[in-house]
Amino acid sequence: MKEVSHLVEAAQAGDSEAYAALVQRFQGMAYATAFRRVRDPHLAQDLVQDAIIEAFLHLPQLKEPSAFPGWFRQIVLRQCTRVLRQASIQCTSIEAVSEGLLAESNSEELALRGEVHACAAGMRWLYGPSRD
């Protein structure tokens, strides 16, 4: 654990090689943590990269260098939680909506609606807006 503390202190002092050594040492733990949460290898890799950047940016704020492993793990977990919350928002694709619309009406009805809409637009252009 002393080695981790020395690496953290050196990284906090601006030693990029010390930070690279920390990343190399804890990257496997970070990936395993992320993968357990998101169950997607590519997403887990992305989350670890985001966590590495966040840890680098906030490393000066870490007061206890020996706490780095747990602190870094918490950053990874926060990244996972952020992504999982975003994924829980319900989204509907355009394809699903258009298939639903097509299922509700046949192509003849759609063509007729399009012609009526175009005709109405042309009438407004020709005669100006209605004065109801």
Tell me: the pLDDT tens digits for 60-103? 999 999 999 999 999 999 999 999 988 765 556 666 666 666 55
Across 11-117, where does the E strand assignment appear? none
For 117, the 3-state DSSP assignment is helix
**What pLDDT, on a 0 to 100 scale, did the predictor assign at position 21?**
97
Give the Cα separation of 6 and 10 in Å (integer): 6
How is residue 125 written in tokens? 């252009």
| Global confidence as pTM | 0.66
Greatest Cα pair distance in the chain: 85
How is residue 10 written in tokens? 């050196």
How is residue 108 written in tokens? 């003849």
Who contacts 60 (Cβ-Cβ below 8 Å, separation ≥6)?
12
CATH topology of domain 2-87: Rna Polymerase Sigma Factor; Chain: A (1.10.1740)
**What pLDDT, on a 0 to 100 scale, did the predictor assign at position 19?**
97
Give the Cα separation of 30 and 22 in Å (integer): 11
**What pLDDT, on a 0 to 100 scale, did the predictor assign at position 2?**
81
- Residue identified by tokens 């492993």 is 69
Task: Give the percent of the chain with pLDDT over 70.
Answer: 69
How is residue 53 written in tokens? 């950047």
